[in-house]
Structure 1
Amino acid sequence: MALHLLCKDPESPNNGSPTLYYDDETHSYLLQGWRVTDAAARLAGITIPDHETIVEFPPRLLRLFPGAESAPQAGAPSPADEH
């Protein structure tokens, strides 16, 4: 498995996250973001299964996401497709 760095928030303090990766084994994306610390208030209307989580990232990261034409092509179902 190899994770490929696709984009990183250039305005992030300490050069950390949010960061978007592509996993060439599962053909899926991983988003490193900020933990939602006030989940009771902000996520009250969302049903989140035990095997999932929610991460937060700023709108400025969206402009750095690769477009569909330049994103890696999926050749196999992702783990999300199996749930």
Structure 2
Amino acid sequence: MALHKLGQDPESPEGKSPTLYYDDETDNYLIQGWKVLDPERRSQLDLPDHEDVIEFPKRMMKFFPEVDGG
């Protein structure tokens, strides 16, 4: 498996997150982002025990090849 870093949030104060990766073995994206911890927001989600949710800024959509034409 090879993960390819497609882009990091240019507005990240520490330059670490959020980050978008592509897994060429599974043909899936991996998204590193901010954990959603607010109980009120989480209560509105239908999350199975084996899943979680993160926040990902809209400004990072440009890193998806399907969006940027690459």
Question: Which amino acid is the alignment partner of residue 30 of structure 1?
Answer: L
1:48 aligned partner: 47
1:2 aligned partner: 2
SS in 2 for 1:13: coil
Task: Report the CA distance between 1:61 and its aligned residue.
Answer: 1.2
SS in 1 for 2:59: helix
User: What root-mean-square deviation, in Å, do the aligned CA atoms of Structure 1 and Structure 2 show?
Assistant: 1.5
Query: Does the CA contact (< 8 Å) of 2:18 and 2:34 recur in 1?
Result: yes
Larger strand proportion, structure 1 or 2?
2
* d(CA) in 2 for partners of 1:6, 1:63: 10
Task: Report the CA distance between 1:65 and its aligned residue.
Answer: 2.5
Matches within 5 A, 1:57-76: 57-67=56-66, 69-70=69-70
Residue 22 of structure 1 pairs with residue 22 of structure 2:
yes
Of structures 1 and 2, the larger Rg is shown by: 1
Question: Which amino acid is the alignment partner of residue 27 of structure 1?
Answer: D
The TM-score, its normalising length taken from structure 2, stands at 0.84
Question: Structure 1, unaligned stretches of length 5 or more?
Answer: 71-83
Task: Report the CA distance between 1:57 and its aligned residue.
Answer: 1.6
Q: Relative contact order (C-alpha < 8 Å, sep 6+): which is higher?
A: 1
